[in-house]
Amino acid sequence: MPDSIERCLESAAPPFCFGQILIRKTNAGHFILIHRDDEPQKNLEIFQNPDDAIEIAKYDDAGNYRPLKTAPNLRHGWRLELADLEELRRALDYFYPGRLAVFAAWKGGELKTTPLRGTLDRQSGMYRVAAKISDAQINDLVANFCRSNGGCLRTILWKRDRGGGIASTKLPKEKFDPGIDQIQALERPESPPPATTPVAATIPLLCQEACNLLIAECRKVVKGK
């Protein structure tokens, strides 16, 4: 799998974006990572080890812990300088755990998705009750919890059930399109960016099945919490 991931990274010629990160390549073949909002900034804190991504991704700007790494609250003010493609892969996997592997599988036509009902039905113990959530409750919960604006930047590929029901009818169609940059969709909800605007290519953060945090929220809904 690391080989297929690195092939995907090689095919994404810098500059490109991955979630809230902008990746550039120097003339010497090194990689520079910054928060995409910080591109005009000069006085950024410099890091040079891919393991530094663990700490950078841990807290938001206010110092609050980030339990969901694909939430749109990655902190600002840093610059990560990396030596090669292997270090880039490691760092990006720390920022967004598992998302590169999912993208590589999707790119190779091997990604399997799991309907939300399927994920709920396999829960056990205290989370078994989550399967009792109604379709109407799912519609509301997913629209709020998974929304790109303040929720999660992943593109939803899974369905509500094996019948192919959409995860939530209250989310915009862009939320289900891997070809859409979720951040740009937020900034321009009415129309795509003008053709004259330079836009870096984007590797999407793909969601092949409901995460543990969403399952926990389903349980809260059923329990009335």
Per-residue pLDDT reduced to its tens digit, 207-220 = 999 999 999 999 99
Confidence of residue 159 (pLDDT cuts 50, 70, 90): very high
What is the pLDDT, as a whole number, of residue 1? 56
Query: What CATH number should be reported for the domain holding residue 52?
Result: 3.30.1360.190
What is the pLDDT, as a whole number, of residue 7? 75
3-class SS at 39? coil
Tokens of 70: 């694909």
Query: Which tops the pLDDT comparison, 196 or 117?
Result: 117
* 61 and 81 together in one domain: yes
Q: What is the rounded distance in angstroms from the CA atom of residue 134 to the CA atom of residue 69? A: 27
pLDDT above 50: residue 99: yes
Confidence of residue 199 (pLDDT cuts 50, 70, 90): low
* 33 and 67 together in one domain: yes
- On average, the pLDDT of the chain sits at 91
- Average pLDDT, stretch 7-27? 87
119-123, 168-172, 196-200: which range is least confident on average? Answer: 196-200
Residue (of 151, 22, 152) closest to 92 by Cα position? 22
39 is in which domain, residue-wise? 2-107
pLDDT above 60: residue 192: no
What is the pLDDT, as a whole number, of residue 206? 98
Instruction: Provide the number of structural domains found in the chain.
Output: 2
Residue that finishes a domain, picked among 107, 127, 147: 107
- Average pLDDT, stretch 51-58? 98
